[in-house]
Amino acid sequence: MEETTQKTKLTPQEIADFCERVLYAHKAENILRFDPSKFDWAQSHHYIVCTGTSAPHIGALAERVQRELRTKLGVRPSAVDGTPQSEWIVMDYFGNAIIHLMTPEARDRYQLEELWSDVPCEDAMKRLDEEYRRRNAEKKEV
């Protein structure tokens, strides 16, 4: 984890923020960020969970996040597991952020929000919607 953070000079927060923006831009739904840093079991600074509309959509989201992190930030995942056909893809960015891309059916079946109900959670969709509205309003003023 430290090697990637030092090499790219990015904080775990910056990596998670970037991932959320990519997911939001490519129509991921119900994006939540969990902060498990106070828990001994945590293997990451941030857990991001989102829904794709279908199996092909989660495949496209995974590909897009990997490509944009690699080309724009020079960061590659330490591990990627799952396939669109499994309805759940997990990408680990050296413990800085672990991203769970799920179909609606998988998200309903595995209920990660319930499993992590004691972990602080932020609704990233609300924050990103507001950020998008504010940027558009600023563009209209110019």
Q: Where are the domains of the chain?
A: 2-141
Q: What is the pLDDT of residue 76?
A: 95
3-state SS, one letter per residue, for the chain: CHHHHHHHCCCHHHHHHHHHHHHHHCCCEEEEEECCCCCCCCCCCEEEEEECCCHHHHHHHHHHHHHHHHHHHCCCCCEEECCHHHCEEEEEECCCEEEEEECHHHHHHHCHHHHCCCCCEEEHHHHHHHHHHHHHHHHHHC
Decide if pLDDT at 90 tops 90: yes
> What average pLDDT does the chain have?
91
Domain 2-141 belongs to what architecture? Answer: 2-Layer Sandwich (3.30)
Q: What is the pLDDT of residue 3?
A: 40
Decide if pLDDT at 4 tops 50: no
pLDDT band at 140 (very low <50, low <70, confident <90, very high): confident
pLDDT band at 142 (very low <50, low <70, confident <90, very high): low
Range scoring the smallest mean pLDDT among 21-30, 78-87, 102-111, 125-134: 125-134
Q: What is the pLDDT of residue 39?
A: 85
pLDDT band at 132 (very low <50, low <70, confident <90, very high): confident
Range scoring the smallest mean pLDDT among 36-45, 46-55, 105-114, 118-127: 36-45
